[in-house]
Amino acid sequence: MEESGKGEDLPAEKPKRVSPPEPIEAEIINDLERLKEDDRPAARPTEPLKPLLTQFEIVGAAMEAKKAAKRENNRKHHEDFMSSPGGPFIWGALKVLGAVTAVALVVWFIVSTANSVGSGKFECESAVKSQLRSPSTASVSFLTNSQSSENSSNWKHTGTVTAQNGFGATVTSGWTCYFENGVASATVG
């Protein structure tokens, strides 16, 4: 076997295309080149610079520069907004509006929950289901809810219930429930 030391039989490698660096990467590279060429001892780094940066170093430095620019931009916009004639007033109004909205949501939740619990809806639904042969198949709907004018803790609820009967057929029936003194009594049919 003969060996060719000149490599005449091998195809020539194609030159790799290098994309031009992004503007921020170009700035970083230029700054590093200036540091290499700078003759002032105070500007020289303590360790020698690498002749070429890896792609990861360039991208990492570019990302950090973009993050820093974004932070600075956000800070500048905040300062501009707060120094504008109505900025602090608008910021304060937004805080108050947020607090009022949060309080309104809490009050709405408490009132809607108290009305459901205090009116005996849950107890009436249980009382209606207890009257059925297949309570697990029941779907209870409320049609009317009325509070007693004589005693605010007494309620009358009416509605419909759809459930399977003893023969397995699905039947819809009306129901009435009285919630008095914390006790629910229902009639179905």
- What single string gives the DSSP state of each residue in 49-100? PPSS--HHHHHHHHHHHHHHHHHHHHHHHHHHHHHSTTHHHHHHHHHHHHHH
pLDDT band at 96 (very low <50, low <70, confident <90, very high): very high
Average pLDDT, integer, range 162-169: 90
Burial of 155 (0-12, 13-18, 19+ CB in 10 A): buried
Q: Which of 155, 156, 189 is nearest to 175 (CA)?
A: 189
Please give the pLDDT value at position 12. Answer: 61
pLDDT of residue 47: 57
Question: Which is more confidently placed, 51 or 75?
Answer: 75
Residue 15 has pLDDT above 70, yes or no: no
pLDDT tens for 130-145 read: 999 889 999 998 888 8
Order of strands across the sheet that contains 139-147: 139-147, 155-164, 170-180, 183-188
Asked if residue 153 has pLDDT above 70, the reply is yes
The confidence band for 1, taking pLDDT boundaries of 50, 70 and 90, is very low
More confident residue, 38 or 138: 138
